Amino acid sequence: MPQGGAIAMPYETLNLTTTAPVLSWANHELGSQEIKMAKNVASLPFVFKHVALMPDVHLGKGALVGSVIATQDAIIPAAVGVDIGCGMCAIKTPFTATQLEGKLKKIRQDIEAVIPVGFNENKTVEKTVSNWQRWADFKQLHPGIQDLQVKAMRQMGSLGGGNHFIEICLDTEDQVWVMLHSGSRNIGNKLAQCHISTGKELAKLANNKLPDPDLAYFVAGTPEFDAYWHDLQWAQNYARVNREVMMARVQRIVEQYLAGGKLTKPLLSVNCHHNYAEKETHYGEAVYVTRKGAVRARAGDYGIIPGSMGAKSYIVQGKGNAESYCSCSHGAGRLMSRTKAKGVYSLDDLIQQTEGVECRKDAGVLDEIPGAYKPIEQVMANQADLVEVVATLKQVVCIKG
Which of the residues are catalytic?
Answer: 330
Q: Report the alpha-carbon distance of residue 208 to residue 200 in Å, rounded.
A: 9
Of the candidates 70, 20, 14, which has an alpha carbon nearest to the alpha carbon of residue 42? 20
Of the candidates 397, 339, 396, which has an alpha carbon nearest to the alpha carbon of residue 368? 339
Q: Report the alpha-carbon distance of residue 327 to residue 32 in Å, rounded.
A: 25
Of the candidates 72, 108, 19, 138, which has an alpha carbon nearest to the alpha carbon of residue 360? 108
CA distances from 264 to 53, 111, 189, 246, 267 (A): 39, 18, 35, 16, 9
Amino acid at 48: F
Rg (alpha carbons) of the chain, rounded to whole number: 21
**Sign of the alpha-carbon torsion through 42, 43, 45, 49:** positive
Q: Report the alpha-carbon distance of residue 93 to residue 178 in Å, rounded.
A: 7
Q: Report the alpha-carbon distance of residue 101 to residue 178 in Å, rounded.
A: 16
CA 335 distance to own-chain centroid: 17
